[in-house]
Chains A and B, each alone.
Chain A
Amino acid sequence: MLEIRDLSTAYGPVLALDKVSFEVADGTITAVLGANGAGKTTLLRTISGLVRPKEGFVTYGGHDLTRMAVEDIVRLGIAHVPEGRGVIQELTVEENLRLGSLWRRDRGDSRLALEEVYELFPPLAGRRGQSAFTLSGGERQMLALGRALMARPQALLLDEPSLGLAPLVTAQIMGRLRQLTQRTAMTILLVEQNARSALSIADQAVVLSLGRVVLLDQASTVAGNAELRHHYLGF
């Protein structure tokens, strides 16, 4: 279980997260929704150790992540796919993927994971030797996601996977995510501006506004309640 307790993160005098608390049960998907500047990206960056919180803590499997280095948090099985996807354009598709599992000792399983990623995202298989620079937006998202899966993570932090993608591609990616949690009991924290598609696959929904949790409920409840949707998500 991933537990976030009274988490506050500040950039100088500006409070980006204000006493955020919620839990994500193993094997479930939680959608983190909210407008630009609500603190969604900061939340993920604090969990993965890229920024240090002012107060509060994040615990996962008995570890307090707020005291750990980014590289060690990765080794607990938490993979963060950053906003803008973080594909390294100067490397080939396969080098990007291999990078995802370099820290693992098990070389044989890394090769297996590579084949599984190619199976999950067939367009990548045909481009394995090409520079990641040549990929389309959708392919880059597949690469970033595939690279995170190379580590066989137990928890996945996804920052706006639908950003800049056509609706059809977004639907494809969301479908793959649902498939993954069902098959591998993976926990997913999904940050999205595209609330509709995120709610369609999530179990739980967290709505942030100006760094605070303003709504925390079952995803189906939020999706099914026109008033909540209209008030907090604008659709």
Chain B
Amino acid sequence: MHRFVSFTLDGITNGMIYAAVAMALVLIWRGTRIVNFAQGAMGMVTTYVAVSLVDRHISYWVAFTVALVAGLVLGALVEVTLIRPVENKSPLVAIIVTLGLLIALEASAALIWGGRFRSFQAPFSIVGLKVGRSQIALSPFDIFTIGAVLAVMVGLLVLFRRTATGLRMRAAAFEPEVARLLGVRVGRVLTLGWALAAVAGSLAGLLVAPKLFLYPNNMDAVLVFGFTAAILGGLDSPVGALVGGLVIGLALSYVGGYLGADTESIGAFVILIVVLMARPGGIFTRINPRRV
């Protein structure tokens, strides 16, 4: 029973990180119908920015904020310089561009910061809390992780549902041509979508590093799990991203816990294949039959 509780708590924490990555992928998919394979690597780069600042004795919170802002800028920059030029070509071209960016970012990070594993001290303990006499698999940092991802999710939801900018983003995602005819500057909206996605990706990077160390491809597995979560949620739904993230987090935690850590990645692929076979649209997609 104690093991089960531990695996569950662990699964929830990791699930929130996968949810953040899934959210980033969903944001970009909704706007541009592209899966951004460089999403994890972009988060890795901004996490290196944070680590470099902390190395120079700058406070964690300043470094954390700078990394998120760096994500915002990096996301916008990638959209304007790399994605915009191939916008009207086949979607495959843009996907290959993101794969190229993934390799370029990981190689550049290795050149600039070196390939060794680096630790990233968080201001919270990563040692599990004590309940009574036994230690549980929930550390103060885990609580911070859950809270931070939830805050970003709620923030994005409020942005989408309650603001004019969010209305523009939804219109541009569903009907770009109609949105333009109503005066929405769709190009700017897409840039904003990539920027916000990169913030969510950077958050995931910052939250992964204290537990898994930081190295140039430390986000590879996280991206695969986040991608599986996004597919599970339907790739179109922010709520689906959150639930998908939690499902993947829990499933992998149980698989890894009971069957051994080596089976985790295989578990993710099994889930991915089963979902694609059983419900290719994901669990949370509302597929409205379109009427003319």
- Whether the pair A102, B178 counts as a contact (CB closer than 8 A) is no
A147 to B184, CA, bound (A): 13
A71-B184, A89-B290, A164-B292 known; A99 and B179 CB under 8 Å? Answer: yes
Contacting A at CB under 8 A, from B134-190, are: 164, 167-168, 170-171, 174-175, 177-186
- Give the number of chain A interface residues (Cβ < 8 Å): 25
A108 to B290, CA, bound (A): 34
Query: Which of these binds chain B: A20-28, A57-65, A74-82, A194-202?
Result: A74-82
Chain A residues near B88 (CB-CB < 8 A): none
**Majority-rule SS of B interface residues:** helix
- Whether the pair A99, B171 counts as a contact (CB closer than 8 A) is yes
- Closest chain B CB from A100 CB (angstroms): 6
- Whether the pair B177, A147 counts as a contact (CB closer than 8 A) is no
B272-292 vs A: 1/0 string, CB under 8 Å?
000000000000000010111
Chain A residues near B183 (CB-CB < 8 A): 71, 74-75, 102-103, 151
**Majority-rule SS of A interface residues:** loop
A33-77 vs B: 1/0 string, CB under 8 Å?
000000000000000101000000000000000000011001100
A82 to B164, CA, bound (A): 23
- Whether the pair A99, B290 counts as a contact (CB closer than 8 A) is no
The 8 Å CB contact of A102, one of B168, B186, B290, is B168
The 8 Å CB contact of B175, one of A70, A79, A88, A100, is A88
Task: Indicate whether A98 reaches chain B with its CB closer than 8 angstroms.
Answer: yes
Chain B residues near A79 (CB-CB < 8 A): 181
A88-B171, A91-B171, A102-B167 known; A74 and B288 CB under 8 Å? Answer: no
Chain B residues near A70 (CB-CB < 8 A): 180-181
- Whether the pair A98, B292 counts as a contact (CB closer than 8 A) is no
